[in-house]
Amino acid sequence: MPGTNNNNNQHSDEPLDPRMLEQLNAYLDYELSEEQRTQVRDLLRRSPAADNEMATLKATSKVLSELPPVPAPRSFAVRPAMLEQPAKSGRGFNLFGWMPSPSFALSLGSLAAACLLVLVLTAQLVSGSGNHAQGSVVTASIAPPTPSGQSGTGQAYNNYDNGRTAPSNPPVSAAAAQPTATTAAAVAPAPAMATAPTPTAVAVTSSMVMSATNASSGSSATSGAGAAPSAITPRLGYAPVATPPGTPGTLTNNYYSGATATNPSTSTYAFNAKSGVATAAPSNNQANNPAANGSGISASGPLPNQNTNQTNNYNVLSGSMDYWLVIEIALAILAVALGLGALIAQRRSR
């Protein structure tokens, strides 16, 4: 009945239109023009539900407005020392008045880390300066020495480090083909694994130049690969591992430190890792199968009595992709994912 003020429970049975509810609240807060107030008054006279709604809303508003102020526990005067301290509440830091939220800061940090990793990766791959001596295992089954009697042993190494063309003392335990070598190099040619020259096995790495030295029958290969694993300077805590003599097919990881040695290189291979094609530029008649990836090269040693024209097989173990690269790529992906996740979380929180 118009004009009555029924406080029934109709407000819950007949919910008002949200816009009408806004009008009632605005009326309550004196935020309507006089014309609008008149319209609301007419509505309240006509609709008991609206009238009841208004009554309860007004009671709620009054309850809130009657809440007494909570006394401040202390003075909040600003002292000079406070200006140097980090904020105690939500924001972690205040950089020149710009106060990013923690999630935004996290996303920025993650993206920065990702960019840094990508830069490092790119620099390594482009310059070939990774010196990824760790990890990659290259097995070279080195053919017997050439009749030319060139000194040196079968060396296969990656010129993957700082552009050095002939890292001496190749990481190779390169059981090099030194018949005369007193080293542990005399290892039987690596069998199946070592005989499969698969350039594709190293296709993961980018342009990499590998110069491989195929030593011919080891004459004076004292500095040759097979010469002295012990001469290899370990790097990053890796100790060179020598292939025990007489261990056929033994693979040796050589984590070389880039120690130099004289290598009578007889052949050089430019290895395009992207295409997986090795271009051989042998200086002798040997056919070479470059298969070096990574820096650790293990050469299974010479067969002293083999034909000198026999093909040298440098094998790269499949899966010998430099795992440091993999780790770096994974870290980069992880950092990007973290950054994106933080950004998404921040947007959702807003």
Partner 1 sequence: MSSTISTEEQQSHERGWIVAAQQGDLDAFNYLVASYEQRIYNLCFRMLGEAEAAADATQDAFINAYKAVGRFRAPQGDLQMVNSFRTWLYRIASNLCYDVLRSRKRRPTTSLDALISDSGEQDYEATGNFSLAHGLASEGPESSALRAELSREIQRGLTLLPEDQRLALILCDIQGFSYDEIAVVTASSLGTVKSRISRARARMRDYLLGRGELLPSTFRHNSDELSALIADCCINDISMAV
Residues of this chain that bind partner 1 (CB under 8 A): 5, 7-9, 12, 18, 21-22, 24-27, 29, 31, 41, 44, 51-52, 54-78, 80, 82-83, 87-91, 94, 97, 99, 101-103, 349
Considering the complex, state which of residue 58 and residue 164 has its C-beta at the smaller distance from partner 1: 58
Minimum CB–partner distance for residue 46 and partner 1 (Å): 13
Considering the complex, state which of residue 84 and residue 237 has its C-beta at the smaller distance from partner 1: 84
Q: Is 286 exposed, middle or buried (0-12, 13-18, 19+ CB in 10 A)?
A: buried
140, 203 in Cβ contact below 8 A? no
How far is the C-alpha of 58 from the C-alpha of 40, rounded, in Å? 14
Minimum CB–partner distance for residue 101 and partner 1 (Å): 6
Considering the complex, state which of residue 56 and residue 230 has its C-beta at the smaller distance from partner 1: 56
Residue 119: CB atoms within 10 A of its CB come to 11
Considering the complex, state which of residue 55 and residue 115 has its C-beta at the smaller distance from partner 1: 55
The phi-psi region of residue 179 (left if phi > 0; otherwise alpha if psi is between -120 and 50; otherwise beta) is alpha
Q: How far is CA 332 from the centre of its chain?
A: 3
User: What is the DSSP annotation of 189-223?
Assistant: PP-HHHH---GGGGTTS-SEEEEEE---S-SSGGG
Considering the complex, state which of residue 14 and residue 22 has its C-beta at the smaller distance from partner 1: 22
Closest CA to 254 of 192, 142, 125, 167: 167
Minimum CB–partner distance for residue 331 and partner 1 (Å): 24
Considering the complex, state which of residue 88 and residue 305 has its C-beta at the smaller distance from partner 1: 88
DSSP letter (8 states) at residue 277: E
Minimum CB–partner distance for residue 320 and partner 1 (Å): 43
Minimum CB–partner distance for residue 30 and partner 1 (Å): 9
The first and second tokens of residue 17, run together, are 């239109």
Minimum CB–partner distance for residue 7 and partner 1 (Å): 5
The first and second tokens of residue 34, run together, are 């006089």
Alpha helices in the chain (DSSP H): 10-13, 18-28, 34-46, 48-65, 102-127, 192-195, 323-349
Minimum CB–partner distance for residue 107 and partner 1 (Å): 13
Q: What is the C-alpha R_g of the chain?
A: 39
Considering the complex, state which of residue 1 and residue 72 has its C-beta at the smaller distance from partner 1: 72
Minimum CB–partner distance for residue 235 and partner 1 (Å): 42
Angle at 22 (CA atoms; ends 16, 24), nearest 5 degrees: 75
Minimum CB–partner distance for residue 108 and partner 1 (Å): 16
Considering the complex, state which of residue 103 and residue 300 has its C-beta at the smaller distance from partner 1: 103
Considering the complex, state which of residue 61 and residue 307 has its C-beta at the smaller distance from partner 1: 61
135, 256 in Cβ contact below 8 A? no
Query: How many Cα atoms are found within 13 Å in the side-chain-facing hemisphere of 65?
Result: 8
User: What is the DSSP annotation of 32-72?
Assistant: S-HHHHHHHHHHHHH-HHHHHHHHHHHHHHHHHHTPPPPPP
